[in-house]
């Protein structure tokens, strides 16, 4: 998935702990083989190859993941969309861009994007991408899903406590060996070498998405590497979003979506969802939180 996973388990025996971690790694690798759009042998690649041609029968696990992704797309008014993989690469965030792309090029870049054109057939458990050239990808949900599955496996094996860190997507359960709750540091986007808060996390996931490393600036306006899949334009106004949720999958998807939806709509949407909270930092450094967040600043 192009992500680094760090797995920590609390166990009485180091050999047993290593065995648990190996099992979690195997589970993450299994999911990658299923959902990776880079692996030509994956079912996701098979769906993409047959875009505009025919439906592809898939495993229930992948079908259900796509179905949940579409629910999030509807919830976010299309701010989250796994068919983002169809986007042309118009924006480059390596410092080489010297001017804004042409409006028509930007508009055309998202012509194949649209979750409405992902057709699911529950009876046959098949997936059809209606448009030729359409693609789906799980970059904004996949590593969170993998972390959830690895966590569930470890709990099933009897691991009472641990953390799975999927490149910043933190998924916790149980307590630290000293009996205290796990705490997650939230990076200060104005100074990424420092944290601005420590948040207690109990049997839940925390995902932070930021644009403080990949962006371009035109006419004194900063454009994030997170692209609105509906318009093709990069997001502006927000530099960091942290989402707390029972599962990393939903936290992963919402962290990206809130960038696109913006502060007001993003907070409004989160405040309507049970057991989900968020912290947003805007491009002026101001902190915005959902209703039930209290920040214990460092």
User: What's the whole-number mean pLDDT along residues 110-134?
Assistant: 97
pLDDT of res. 225: 86
Give CA torsion, residues 162, 275, 253, 285, to 10 deg: -90
User: What's the whole-number mean pLDDT along residues 15-22?
Assistant: 95
Burial label for 216, CB within 10 Å (0-12, 13-18, 19+), is buried
DSSP H or E segment with residue 120: strand 118-121
Sheet containing 118-121: order of strands: 56-57, 126-129, 118-121
pLDDT band at 1 (very low <50, low <70, confident <90, very high): low
pLDDT of res. 222: 79
Hey, is 94 helix, strand or coil?
coil
* Pairing mode, strands 169-173 and 205-210: antiparallel
pLDDT band at 193 (very low <50, low <70, confident <90, very high): confident
Q: How far apart are CA 198 and CA 194, in angstroms?
A: 11
pLDDT band at 293 (very low <50, low <70, confident <90, very high): confident
User: What's the whole-number mean pLDDT along residues 203-228?
Assistant: 84
On whether the CB atoms of residues 67 and 203 are closer than 8 A, the answer is: no
Count of CB atoms situated within 10 Å of the CB of 284: 8
Identify the weakest region by mean pLDDT among 68-72, 267-271, 282-286.
Answer: 282-286
The sign one gets for the Cα dihedral 40, 42, 43, 44 is negative
Hey, is 229 helix, strand or coil?
coil
User: What's the whole-number mean pLDDT along residues 100-124?
Assistant: 95
Mutual angle of helices 142-156 and 14-35, in 10-degree steps: 140
DSSP for residue 180: P
Closest CA to 234 of 253, 217, 252, 246: 217
Domains of the chain in start order, with CATH, are: 43-129 (1.10.3980.10), 181-289 (3.10.520.10)
Rounded to two decimals, what is the model's pTM? 0.92
pLDDT of res. 209: 87
User: What's the whole-number mean pLDDT along residues 18-41?
Assistant: 94
pLDDT of res. 140: 85
């Amino acid at each position: 998935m192009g992500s680094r996973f760090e797995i920590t388990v609390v166990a009485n025996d180091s050999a047993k702990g290593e065995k648990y971690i190996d099992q979690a790694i195997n589970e993450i690798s299994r999911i990658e083989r299923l959902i990776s759009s880079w692996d030509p042998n994956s079912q996701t690649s098979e769906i993409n190859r047959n875009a505009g041609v025919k439906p592809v029968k898939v495993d229930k696990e992948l079908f259900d993941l796509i179905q949940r992704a579409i629910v999030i797309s509807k919830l976010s008014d299309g701010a989250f969309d796994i068919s983002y993989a169809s986007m042309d690469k118009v924006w480059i965030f390596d410092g080489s861009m010297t001017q804004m792309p042409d409006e028509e090029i930007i508009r055309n870049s998202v012509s194949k994007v649209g979750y409405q054109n992902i057709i699911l057939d529950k009876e046959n458990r098949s997936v059809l991408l209606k448009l030729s050239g359409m693609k789906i990808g799980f970059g904004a949900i996949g590593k969170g899903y993998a972390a959830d599955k690895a966590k569930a496996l470890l709990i099933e094996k009897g691991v009472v406590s641990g953390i799975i860190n999927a490149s910043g997507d933190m998924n916790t359960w149980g307590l630290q060996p000293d009996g205290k709750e796990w705490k997650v540091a939230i990076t200060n986007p104005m100074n990424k070498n420092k944290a601005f808060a420590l948040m207690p996390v109990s049997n839940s996931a925390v995902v932070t998405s930021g644009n403080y490393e990949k962006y371009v600036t035109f006419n004194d306006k900063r454009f994030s590497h997170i692209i609105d899949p509906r318009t093709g334009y990069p997001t502006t106004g927000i530099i960091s979003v942290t989402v707390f949720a029972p599962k990393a999958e939903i936290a992963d998807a919402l962290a990206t979506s809130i960038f696109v939806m913006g502060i007001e709509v993003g907070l409004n949407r989160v405040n309507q969802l049970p057991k989900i909270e968020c912290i947003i930092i805007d491009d002026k450094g101001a902190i915005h939180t959902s209703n039930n967040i209290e920040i214990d600043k460092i």
